[in-house]
Structure 1
Amino acid sequence: MNLTNLLAKHFDDHVEVTHRTLEALATPLEVAIEACFQTLTNGGKLLACGNGGSAADAQHFIAELVGRFERERLPLAGVTLSADTSILTAVGNDYGYEQVFARQVAALGQPGDILVAISTSGNSGNVLQAIQTAHECEMNVIALTGRDGGQIGQMLYETDVHLCVPHERTMRIQEMHILLLHLICEGIDTLLLGEP
Protein backbone atom coordinates (compact mmCIF):
# COMPACT_ATOMS: atom_id res chain seq x y z
CA MET A 1 0.00 0.00 0.00
CA ASN A 2 1.44 3.39 -0.94
CA LEU A 3 1.23 6.41 1.36
CA THR A 4 -1.59 8.06 -0.59
CA ASN A 5 -3.78 4.98 -0.18
CA LEU A 6 -2.81 4.63 3.48
CA LEU A 7 -3.75 8.23 4.23
CA ALA A 8 -7.01 7.97 2.29
CA LYS A 9 -7.94 4.83 4.25
CA HIS A 10 -7.37 6.66 7.56
CA PHE A 11 -9.55 9.57 6.48
CA ASP A 12 -12.27 7.16 5.35
CA ASP A 13 -12.07 5.24 8.66
CA HIS A 14 -12.26 8.51 10.61
CA VAL A 15 -15.40 9.63 8.76
CA GLU A 16 -17.02 6.21 9.20
CA VAL A 17 -16.39 6.05 12.98
CA THR A 18 -17.57 9.66 13.33
CA HIS A 19 -20.95 8.69 11.87
CA ARG A 20 -21.16 5.56 14.01
CA THR A 21 -20.29 7.56 17.14
CA LEU A 22 -22.99 10.14 16.39
CA GLU A 23 -25.60 7.39 15.95
CA ALA A 24 -24.56 5.63 19.15
CA LEU A 25 -23.89 8.58 21.44
CA ALA A 26 -26.06 11.57 20.46
CA THR A 27 -28.52 11.03 23.34
CA PRO A 28 -25.99 10.33 26.12
CA LEU A 29 -23.87 13.24 24.85
CA GLU A 30 -26.84 15.58 25.34
CA VAL A 31 -27.28 14.18 28.86
CA ALA A 32 -23.57 14.79 29.57
CA ILE A 33 -23.81 18.40 28.36
CA GLU A 34 -26.87 19.08 30.53
CA ALA A 35 -25.19 17.48 33.56
CA CYS A 36 -22.04 19.58 33.14
CA PHE A 37 -24.09 22.74 32.68
CA GLN A 38 -26.14 22.06 35.81
CA THR A 39 -23.04 21.29 37.88
CA LEU A 40 -21.12 24.35 36.70
CA THR A 41 -24.03 26.77 37.12
CA ASN A 42 -24.83 25.47 40.61
CA GLY A 43 -21.39 26.08 42.09
CA GLY A 44 -19.88 22.68 41.32
CA LYS A 45 -16.80 21.71 39.37
CA LEU A 46 -15.52 19.14 36.92
CA LEU A 47 -12.50 16.95 37.70
CA ALA A 48 -10.92 15.18 34.73
CA CYS A 49 -8.40 12.35 34.54
CA GLY A 50 -6.80 9.88 32.17
CA ASN A 51 -3.42 8.41 31.22
CA GLY A 52 -1.18 9.21 28.24
CA GLY A 53 -3.24 10.60 25.38
CA SER A 54 -6.28 10.56 27.65
CA ALA A 55 -4.36 12.72 30.16
CA ALA A 56 -3.73 15.19 27.35
CA ASP A 57 -7.44 15.13 26.48
CA ALA A 58 -8.38 15.75 30.12
CA GLN A 59 -5.98 18.68 30.30
CA HIS A 60 -7.22 20.08 26.98
CA PHE A 61 -10.86 19.83 28.11
CA ILE A 62 -10.29 21.63 31.41
CA ALA A 63 -8.25 24.32 29.65
CA GLU A 64 -11.27 25.04 27.43
CA LEU A 65 -13.48 25.44 30.51
CA VAL A 66 -11.17 27.58 32.64
CA GLY A 67 -9.99 29.65 29.67
CA ARG A 68 -12.58 29.69 26.95
CA PHE A 69 -13.73 27.50 24.11
CA GLU A 70 -14.62 29.72 21.15
CA ARG A 71 -16.58 32.55 22.76
CA GLU A 72 -15.93 34.95 25.60
CA ARG A 73 -17.49 33.99 28.93
CA LEU A 74 -16.60 33.76 32.58
CA PRO A 75 -14.17 30.96 33.54
CA LEU A 76 -15.76 27.65 34.51
CA ALA A 77 -14.55 25.50 37.41
CA GLY A 78 -12.44 22.53 36.41
CA VAL A 79 -9.33 20.68 37.58
CA THR A 80 -7.10 18.28 35.66
CA LEU A 81 -5.96 15.45 37.94
CA SER A 82 -3.11 14.36 35.65
CA ALA A 83 -1.23 17.68 35.49
CA ASP A 84 0.42 18.13 38.90
CA THR A 85 3.66 16.14 38.81
CA SER A 86 4.35 16.67 42.51
CA ILE A 87 1.02 15.14 43.50
CA LEU A 88 1.32 12.33 40.94
CA THR A 89 4.81 11.34 42.04
CA ALA A 90 4.17 11.74 45.78
CA VAL A 91 0.95 9.72 45.74
CA GLY A 92 2.40 7.21 43.27
CA ASN A 93 5.44 6.71 45.48
CA ASP A 94 3.61 6.60 48.81
CA TYR A 95 0.35 4.84 47.88
CA GLY A 96 0.87 3.29 44.44
CA TYR A 97 0.07 4.55 40.96
CA GLU A 98 -3.50 3.25 41.09
CA GLN A 99 -4.26 5.89 43.75
CA VAL A 100 -2.91 8.98 41.93
CA PHE A 101 -6.35 10.17 40.82
CA ALA A 102 -8.46 8.72 43.64
CA ARG A 103 -6.54 10.65 46.33
CA GLN A 104 -7.19 13.89 44.44
CA VAL A 105 -10.87 13.08 43.99
CA ALA A 106 -11.12 12.43 47.75
CA ALA A 107 -9.38 15.74 48.48
CA LEU A 108 -11.20 17.94 45.96
CA GLY A 109 -14.50 16.26 45.10
CA GLN A 110 -17.79 17.36 46.62
CA PRO A 111 -21.31 15.97 46.25
CA GLY A 112 -22.73 17.21 42.96
CA ASP A 113 -19.33 17.58 41.25
CA ILE A 114 -18.59 15.52 38.13
CA LEU A 115 -15.61 13.29 37.40
CA VAL A 116 -14.77 13.11 33.68
CA ALA A 117 -12.95 9.77 33.48
CA ILE A 118 -11.18 8.97 30.20
CA SER A 119 -9.81 5.54 29.26
CA THR A 120 -9.78 4.15 25.72
CA SER A 121 -9.80 0.56 27.03
CA GLY A 122 -12.08 1.19 29.98
CA ASN A 123 -9.64 -0.77 32.13
CA SER A 124 -7.13 1.77 33.50
CA GLY A 125 -6.65 0.88 37.16
CA ASN A 126 -6.15 4.41 38.42
CA VAL A 127 -9.23 5.65 36.53
CA LEU A 128 -11.28 2.80 38.00
CA GLN A 129 -10.15 3.81 41.50
CA ALA A 130 -11.03 7.45 40.75
CA ILE A 131 -14.55 6.44 39.71
CA GLN A 132 -15.02 4.37 42.86
CA THR A 133 -13.89 7.32 45.00
CA ALA A 134 -16.12 9.72 43.06
CA HIS A 135 -19.11 7.50 43.85
CA GLU A 136 -18.12 7.47 47.52
CA CYS A 137 -18.01 11.30 47.39
CA GLU A 138 -21.53 11.39 45.87
CA MET A 139 -20.20 12.68 42.56
CA ASN A 140 -21.56 11.74 39.15
CA VAL A 141 -19.26 10.36 36.45
CA ILE A 142 -19.01 11.00 32.74
CA ALA A 143 -16.86 8.18 31.36
CA LEU A 144 -15.28 8.24 27.91
CA THR A 145 -14.20 4.78 26.80
CA GLY A 146 -14.04 2.64 23.68
CA ARG A 147 -14.37 -0.95 22.51
CA ASP A 148 -16.83 -2.67 24.91
CA GLY A 149 -16.36 -0.12 27.72
CA GLY A 150 -14.19 -2.47 29.76
CA GLN A 151 -14.47 -2.57 33.55
CA ILE A 152 -15.57 1.07 33.64
CA GLY A 153 -18.72 0.19 31.75
CA GLN A 154 -19.56 -2.38 34.42
CA MET A 155 -19.11 -0.09 37.43
CA LEU A 156 -21.05 3.00 36.35
CA TYR A 157 -24.29 3.96 38.07
CA GLU A 158 -27.54 4.74 36.27
CA THR A 159 -26.97 8.40 37.14
CA ASP A 160 -23.59 8.35 35.33
CA VAL A 161 -23.08 8.89 31.58
CA HIS A 162 -21.11 6.44 29.46
CA LEU A 163 -19.73 7.72 26.15
CA CYS A 164 -18.32 4.49 24.70
CA VAL A 165 -16.90 4.94 21.19
CA PRO A 166 -17.96 2.00 19.01
CA HIS A 167 -14.50 1.12 17.67
CA GLU A 168 -11.57 -1.14 18.55
CA ARG A 169 -8.61 0.96 17.47
CA THR A 170 -7.05 3.30 20.05
CA MET A 171 -6.30 6.16 17.65
CA ARG A 172 -9.91 6.24 16.37
CA ILE A 173 -11.25 6.16 19.94
CA GLN A 174 -8.98 9.05 20.91
CA GLU A 175 -10.06 11.05 17.87
CA MET A 176 -13.67 10.64 18.92
CA HIS A 177 -12.91 11.46 22.55
CA ILE A 178 -11.55 14.91 21.69
CA LEU A 179 -14.53 15.50 19.39
CA LEU A 180 -16.92 14.54 22.21
CA LEU A 181 -15.11 16.82 24.67
CA HIS A 182 -15.24 19.71 22.20
CA LEU A 183 -18.96 19.12 21.75
CA ILE A 184 -19.47 19.17 25.52
CA CYS A 185 -17.69 22.54 25.59
CA GLU A 186 -19.79 23.84 22.71
CA GLY A 187 -22.97 22.55 24.37
CA ILE A 188 -22.14 24.21 27.70
CA ASP A 189 -21.42 27.51 25.94
CA THR A 190 -24.67 27.28 23.99
CA LEU A 191 -26.66 26.72 27.18
CA LEU A 192 -24.82 29.59 28.88
CA LEU A 193 -24.70 32.11 26.05
CA GLY A 194 -27.35 31.04 23.53
CA GLU A 195 -26.82 30.00 19.91
CA PRO A 196 -23.56 31.24 18.37
Structure 2
Amino acid sequence: MEKSLTIAIDGPAASGKGTLARRIADYYHLGHLDTGLTYRAVAHMMLQKGWPLDDDAHAIEAARQVDLGNLDKHALSAHAVADAASKVAVIPEVRRILVDKQRTFAAQPGGAVLDGRDIGTVVCPEAPVKLYVTASAEVRAARRLRDIEGRGGHAGLAEILDDIRRRDERDMGRSDSPLKPAADAHLLDTSEMSIEAAFRAARAIIDGVLAGQNAS
Protein backbone atom coordinates (compact mmCIF):
# COMPACT_ATOMS: atom_id res chain seq x y z
CA MET A 1 0.00 0.00 0.00
CA GLU A 2 1.62 3.24 -1.17
CA LYS A 3 -0.02 5.60 1.29
CA SER A 4 -0.62 5.24 5.01
CA LEU A 5 -4.19 4.24 5.80
CA THR A 6 -5.73 4.79 9.20
CA ILE A 7 -9.18 3.33 9.74
CA ALA A 8 -11.14 4.50 12.79
CA ILE A 9 -14.01 2.27 13.92
CA ASP A 10 -16.30 3.33 16.75
CA GLY A 11 -19.47 1.97 18.25
CA PRO A 12 -21.16 0.69 21.40
CA ALA A 13 -20.56 -2.64 23.12
CA ALA A 14 -21.42 -5.80 21.12
CA SER A 15 -22.13 -3.84 17.94
CA GLY A 16 -19.76 -6.07 15.98
CA LYS A 17 -17.07 -3.43 15.56
CA GLY A 18 -14.29 -5.62 17.00
CA THR A 19 -14.95 -8.55 14.69
CA LEU A 20 -15.27 -6.19 11.74
CA ALA A 21 -12.06 -4.36 12.67
CA ARG A 22 -10.09 -7.61 12.78
CA ARG A 23 -11.45 -8.67 9.38
CA ILE A 24 -10.58 -5.31 7.86
CA ALA A 25 -7.08 -5.27 9.34
CA ASP A 26 -6.40 -8.75 8.00
CA TYR A 27 -7.78 -7.95 4.54
CA TYR A 28 -5.80 -4.72 4.12
CA HIS A 29 -2.69 -6.03 5.92
CA LEU A 30 -2.79 -3.39 8.63
CA GLY A 31 -2.00 -3.47 12.32
CA HIS A 32 -5.04 -3.69 14.59
CA LEU A 33 -5.69 -2.32 18.07
CA ASP A 34 -8.81 -2.91 20.11
CA THR A 35 -8.49 0.21 22.22
CA GLY A 36 -11.06 -1.11 24.66
CA LEU A 37 -8.43 -3.60 25.80
CA THR A 38 -6.22 -0.74 26.96
CA TYR A 39 -8.94 0.41 29.38
CA ARG A 40 -9.59 -3.19 30.38
CA ALA A 41 -5.89 -3.57 31.15
CA VAL A 42 -6.14 -0.64 33.58
CA ALA A 43 -9.25 -2.11 35.18
CA HIS A 44 -7.72 -5.59 35.36
CA MET A 45 -4.67 -4.28 37.21
CA MET A 46 -6.84 -2.35 39.67
CA LEU A 47 -9.06 -5.36 40.34
CA GLN A 48 -6.01 -7.59 40.86
CA LYS A 49 -4.48 -5.15 43.33
CA GLY A 50 -7.76 -4.45 45.10
CA TRP A 51 -7.70 -0.75 44.27
CA PRO A 52 -11.07 1.08 44.23
CA LEU A 53 -12.17 1.79 40.66
CA ASP A 54 -12.74 5.46 41.50
CA ASP A 55 -9.17 5.88 42.82
CA ASP A 56 -7.79 8.31 40.24
CA ALA A 57 -4.17 8.15 41.39
CA HIS A 58 -3.93 4.36 41.14
CA ALA A 59 -5.86 4.32 37.86
CA ILE A 60 -3.37 6.79 36.39
CA GLU A 61 -0.48 4.67 37.66
CA ALA A 62 -2.02 1.60 36.02
CA ALA A 63 -2.60 3.45 32.74
CA ARG A 64 1.07 4.44 32.56
CA GLN A 65 2.04 0.78 32.87
CA VAL A 66 -0.18 -0.46 30.03
CA ASP A 67 1.90 -2.14 27.30
CA LEU A 68 0.09 -2.28 23.95
CA GLY A 69 2.30 -5.17 22.91
CA ASN A 70 1.23 -7.29 25.87
CA LEU A 71 -2.57 -7.16 26.02
CA ASP A 72 -3.90 -10.59 26.99
CA LYS A 73 -7.33 -10.62 25.35
CA HIS A 74 -8.36 -13.83 27.12
CA ALA A 75 -7.60 -12.45 30.59
CA LEU A 76 -9.21 -9.12 29.72
CA SER A 77 -12.43 -10.59 28.31
CA ALA A 78 -14.06 -11.34 31.68
CA HIS A 79 -17.37 -9.59 32.24
CA ALA A 80 -16.20 -8.05 35.52
CA VAL A 81 -13.19 -6.52 33.77
CA ALA A 82 -15.34 -5.11 30.96
CA ASP A 83 -17.74 -3.52 33.41
CA ALA A 84 -14.90 -2.08 35.49
CA ALA A 85 -13.23 -0.69 32.36
CA SER A 86 -16.19 1.53 31.56
CA LYS A 87 -15.85 2.99 35.06
CA VAL A 88 -12.13 3.79 34.95
CA ALA A 89 -12.56 5.11 31.40
CA VAL A 90 -14.35 8.19 32.76
CA ILE A 91 -11.14 9.38 34.48
CA PRO A 92 -9.78 12.15 32.18
CA GLU A 93 -6.07 11.61 32.90
CA VAL A 94 -6.40 7.86 32.25
CA ARG A 95 -7.95 8.67 28.88
CA ARG A 96 -5.17 11.14 28.02
CA ILE A 97 -2.43 8.63 28.81
CA LEU A 98 -4.06 5.83 26.83
CA VAL A 99 -4.96 8.08 23.89
CA ASP A 100 -1.27 9.02 23.56
CA LYS A 101 -0.37 5.33 23.41
CA GLN A 102 -3.15 4.67 20.88
CA ARG A 103 -2.01 7.53 18.64
CA THR A 104 1.51 6.14 18.64
CA PHE A 105 0.10 2.80 17.46
CA ALA A 106 -1.94 4.51 14.74
CA ALA A 107 1.17 6.30 13.44
CA GLN A 108 2.96 3.07 12.49
CA PRO A 109 4.20 2.78 8.89
CA GLY A 110 1.46 1.76 6.46
CA GLY A 111 -1.34 2.64 8.85
CA ALA A 112 -3.58 0.77 11.23
CA VAL A 113 -7.13 -0.12 12.20
CA LEU A 114 -8.26 1.04 15.62
CA ASP A 115 -11.62 0.27 17.13
CA GLY A 116 -13.15 1.76 20.24
CA ARG A 117 -15.49 4.52 21.32
CA ASP A 118 -13.65 7.74 20.53
CA ILE A 119 -11.31 6.86 17.67
CA GLY A 120 -12.84 9.03 14.97
CA THR A 121 -13.65 11.90 17.33
CA VAL A 122 -10.56 12.06 19.58
CA VAL A 123 -7.80 9.53 18.90
CA CYS A 124 -7.59 9.79 15.11
CA PRO A 125 -9.82 12.67 13.99
CA GLU A 126 -7.82 12.99 10.75
CA ALA A 127 -8.31 9.32 9.76
CA PRO A 128 -9.43 9.15 6.11
CA VAL A 129 -11.87 6.34 6.91
CA LYS A 130 -14.25 6.55 9.87
CA LEU A 131 -16.92 3.96 10.55
CA TYR A 132 -19.54 4.08 13.27
CA VAL A 133 -20.84 0.56 13.81
CA THR A 134 -24.03 0.17 15.79
CA ALA A 135 -27.01 -2.12 16.40
CA SER A 136 -30.08 -2.07 18.61
CA ALA A 137 -29.52 -2.79 22.31
CA GLU A 138 -31.72 -5.89 22.01
CA VAL A 139 -29.67 -7.32 19.14
CA ARG A 140 -26.42 -6.56 20.95
CA ALA A 141 -27.67 -8.28 24.11
CA ALA A 142 -28.60 -11.39 22.14
CA ARG A 143 -25.15 -11.44 20.54
CA ARG A 144 -23.46 -11.09 23.91
CA LEU A 145 -25.55 -13.97 25.28
CA ARG A 146 -24.58 -16.21 22.35
CA ASP A 147 -20.93 -15.36 22.93
CA ILE A 148 -21.16 -16.18 26.65
CA GLU A 149 -22.98 -19.45 25.99
CA GLY A 150 -20.52 -20.30 23.23
CA ARG A 151 -17.75 -20.14 25.81
CA GLY A 152 -19.67 -22.41 28.16
CA GLY A 153 -21.01 -19.68 30.39
CA HIS A 154 -24.51 -18.84 31.57
CA ALA A 155 -26.34 -15.54 31.79
CA GLY A 156 -29.83 -14.06 31.53
CA LEU A 157 -30.82 -12.00 28.50
CA ALA A 158 -32.60 -9.36 30.61
CA GLU A 159 -29.55 -8.92 32.81
CA ILE A 160 -27.26 -8.54 29.78
CA LEU A 161 -29.63 -6.04 28.18
CA ASP A 162 -29.70 -3.94 31.36
CA ASP A 163 -25.90 -4.05 31.53
CA ILE A 164 -25.54 -2.94 27.90
CA ARG A 165 -27.92 -0.04 28.46
CA ARG A 166 -25.99 1.05 31.56
CA ARG A 167 -22.71 0.91 29.65
CA ASP A 168 -24.20 2.89 26.78
CA GLU A 169 -25.37 5.53 29.24
CA ARG A 170 -21.92 5.76 30.85
CA ASP A 171 -20.10 5.84 27.52
CA MET A 172 -22.40 8.34 25.84
CA GLY A 173 -22.92 10.50 28.91
CA ARG A 174 -19.36 11.03 30.12
CA SER A 175 -18.05 14.59 29.79
CA ASP A 176 -14.63 13.55 28.42
CA SER A 177 -14.67 11.90 24.97
CA PRO A 178 -18.25 10.61 24.96
CA LEU A 179 -19.25 7.87 22.55
CA LYS A 180 -20.72 9.45 19.42
CA PRO A 181 -20.18 9.21 15.68
CA ALA A 182 -17.70 11.63 14.13
CA ALA A 183 -19.35 14.21 11.87
CA ASP A 184 -17.84 12.55 8.79
CA ALA A 185 -18.23 8.91 9.91
CA HIS A 186 -20.01 6.35 7.76
CA LEU A 187 -22.85 4.82 9.77
CA LEU A 188 -23.10 1.03 9.62
CA ASP A 189 -26.12 -0.43 11.42
CA THR A 190 -25.49 -4.17 11.76
CA SER A 191 -28.80 -5.03 13.48
CA GLU A 192 -29.96 -6.97 10.42
CA MET A 193 -26.52 -7.74 8.97
CA SER A 194 -24.33 -10.80 9.07
CA ILE A 195 -20.63 -10.16 9.64
CA GLU A 196 -20.05 -10.93 5.95
CA ALA A 197 -22.59 -8.31 4.87
CA ALA A 198 -21.07 -5.76 7.25
CA PHE A 199 -17.59 -6.58 5.96
CA ARG A 200 -18.67 -6.09 2.34
CA ALA A 201 -20.29 -2.76 3.19
CA ALA A 202 -17.16 -1.60 5.03
CA ARG A 203 -14.91 -2.69 2.16
CA ALA A 204 -16.97 -0.68 -0.31
CA ILE A 205 -16.49 2.42 1.83
CA ILE A 206 -12.75 1.84 2.32
CA ASP A 207 -12.11 1.01 -1.33
CA GLY A 208 -13.89 4.21 -2.32
CA VAL A 209 -11.55 6.22 -0.10
CA LEU A 210 -8.50 4.39 -1.47
CA ALA A 211 -9.61 5.07 -5.04
CA GLY A 212 -9.87 8.74 -4.20
CA GLN A 213 -6.41 8.74 -2.60
CA ASN A 214 -4.82 7.04 -5.60
CA ALA A 215 -6.47 9.48 -7.97
CA SER A 216 -5.13 12.50 -6.10
What TM-score do the two structures reach when normalised by structure 1? 0.41
| Bigger relative CO (Cα 8 Å, ≥ 6 apart) | 2
